[in-house]
Amino acid sequence: MLTMTGTTQTYTADSTRWLRQLALSVRGRLAAAVALGELAGILLVLQTGLLARVADEVIFRRSAVSALLSLFAGALGAVILRAAAAAAARRTASACASKVKAHVRAECIAHVARIGPLALSGMRAGEIAHVSVDAVEALDAYFSRYLPQRSIASLLPFTILAVVFPLDWISGLVLVLTAVFLPVSMIVIGDQAHERNQRLWGRLALMSGRFLDVLQGLSTVRMFDAVRRETAEIERASREHRTLTMSVLRLAFLSSFMLELISAVSIAIVAVISGFRLLHGTMAFNPAYFILLVAPEYFLTLRMLGTLHHSRMEAISAAEQIQEFLGRPVLEESAARVNAPCVMRPPVITFHGVSFSYGAAPVLSGVTLEIDSCERVALIGASGAGKSTLLALLNRFARPQQGTIEIDGVPLAALDLAGWRRVVAWLPQRPTMFHGSVRDNVTLGRRDASKDEIRRAMSLARAEGIPLDTPVGESGLGLSTGEAQRVALARLFLRTPLLVLLDEPTAHLDAENAALVSEGIQELSSGRTTLLVTHRAESAAGMDRIVEIKDGKAGPVR
């Protein structure tokens, strides 16, 4: 638990700094929002002044309404302007938040590609989506409400004091003196509450996380016949959560209690002191009434800030999540190089003692293998033997930790990356189908493909029977596995590959679909250097050579 709190604190410092930088990027608009909010406050003071004036005229001078019409008209103007300024302030502040969110979302989305496929496979896609959409949303209130309100809270009270003091310095002094207690008491209480909060934070998070945890592990809970026990556990955890939270809140609410108390007491003092002076004739009614009316507003901005405090906390914890994601290491990628060699013909591929491991678990340990131009090689081996890893290395999703891969005698890493991608066609084990239509999925790698090209690719992939307008749902809903496989194959025919990488293309298919896909594969691989990964020797029929990957090494089939 100690370490947990420690990391939280360092993240929090980072997160606040990051949030501040984001705020700087929209400082112009933020300033405009603050100015509009301040303007609304000034108009409120003006309106209050007019009200006090009217009351004074009516009560003490018995003026008729008809004599006060100009004051009423002025008040109406102030009300309209104030409403307009408040609306504009809200809109401007929200535009700041929108801009920041769009920027952060773009960053998150771009980072998905930067992380690279291998590291992504260890992360949950839903969690990434949660960060880029929901965590970013949690920044909204911070930029649209909290930040503008904080600036207004430090401007408007001074504006009010600047008006009050010339009218009546005694009341002004009351307002200043009571307000001085505010920061002091809030700091004392705030510190204690904060410390308590920090101490309990980990436990509170764990307890409220328990519910989601149990939801995710529901099958396990049922499997172990532990439903009743977990229900009791949720009850117990929520009860403990409540007790602990309340112990924090009792303290945390003290600061808002102090705010309320000081605000109410301050109004009471102003009222009573003014009352006595009015009785003795040492003060005029107009300023007394005005100050009484404006005093609540003096404290209101500060109280509002208190209610927005949680949006700051939420933004900080969201910022932690976002930063954690954006801090994920980036797949090192060779920068685009001028004059880097490109592959112009079906390549010769040479593996020289290639080793690769995921963390501590070695997968390939010294693979040496040569594949001729236009040769078609089947790689067989048990699942987990490292066949797919070999393809990942050729795809440049990772680099071998030892050894080199050479393409026509040139190290793979030295080739132009974009040029290399253009000549490699890769059919993964379970191709991803993207939400959209079949056409969208076929033209994924070539948005500019013509109708004829698409038709040709579909027929080469034995997929001409699938209507191009068929809608494809999330994770390929709407297409059978065999259809999806053929659509994925058609994707590759739209490109101009010289090297074909196939990963268990028929493993999950029924006989009929397997035959269709095999035909398409024959078509795609002819005249191209081809690697076919399979765990079954019979699927390797029709290949020029079979190589077995075993114990991290490549060898002929015995």
In the window 444-503, what residues touch another protein (CB under 8 A)? 444-445, 447, 474-475, 480-481, 491, 495
Tell whether residue 101 is a contact of another protein (CB under 8 A).
yes
Neighbours of 157 (CB within 10 A): 21
Sign of CA dihedral 74, 75, 80, 83: positive
In the complex, minimum distance from the CB of residue 174 to another protein, in angstroms, rounded to a whole number:
13
The reply on whether position 148 binds another protein by CB under 8 A is: no
Mark the segment that binds another protein (CB under 8 A) among 21-29, 225-233, 312-320, 460-468.
225-233
| Binding region for another protein (CB under 8 A) out of 12-20, 148-156, 189-197, 255-263 | 255-263
What is the number of helices (H) and of strands (E) in the chain? Answer: 19, 12
What the block records as the tokens of 461 is: 């992939």
Closest of 349, 350, 354 to residue 365, by C-alpha = 354
Q: Are 438 and 465 in contact (CB under 8 A)?
A: no
* Per CB under 8 A, 158 contacts another protein: no
Residue number with CB closer to another protein (362 or 544): 362
Cα 513 to chain centroid, rounded = 40
Is residue 245 involved in binding another protein (CB under 8 A)? yes
Confirm or reject binding of residue 344 to another protein (CB under 8 A).
no
Under rule CB under 8 A, residue 150 binds another protein? no
Range 189-218, binding another protein (CB under 8 A): 206, 209-218
Q: Is 256 in the site for another protein (CB under 8 A)?
A: yes
C-alpha span between 210 and 238 (Å, rounded): 9
Site string for another protein, 56-75 (x = CB under 8 A): --xxx-xxxx--x---x--x
Least distance (Å) from another protein to the CB of residue 86? 5
Asked whether 435 and 509 are in contact (CB, 8 A), the reply is: no
Shortest separation between residue 50's beta carbon and another protein, angstroms: 9
Instruction: Give me the least distance between CB of 58 and another protein, in Å please.
Output: 5
CB of 355 closer than 8 Å to CB of 346: no
Q: Considering the complex, what minimum distance in angstroms separates the CB of residue 212 from another protein?
A: 6
Q: Judged by CB under 8 A, does residue 253 bind another protein?
A: yes
Q: What is the 3-state secondary structure (H, E, C) of 148-197?
A: HHHHHHHHHHHHHHHHHHHHCHHHHHHHHHHHHHHHHHHHHHHHHHHHHH
CA pair distance 186, 205, nearest whole angstrom: 25
By the rule CB under 8 A, 144 interacts with another protein:
yes
Q: Between residue 38 and residue 57, which ones bind another protein under the rule CB under 8 A?
A: 40, 47, 51, 54-55
Contact of 288 with 154, CB cutoff 8 Å: no
SS (H, E, C) 122-148: CCCHHHHHHHHHHHHHCCHHHHHHHHH
- Report the site for another protein in 389-448 (rule: CB under 8 A): 392, 395, 397, 418, 421-422, 424, 426, 428, 431-432, 434-435, 444-445, 447
* 425 phi/psi in degrees, rounded to 5: -115, 125
Among 32, 45, 46, 89, binds another protein (CB under 8 A): 89
Identified binder of another protein from the candidate list 28, 225, 335, 338, rule CB under 8 A: 225
Closer Cβ to another protein, 71 or 161, answer by number: 71
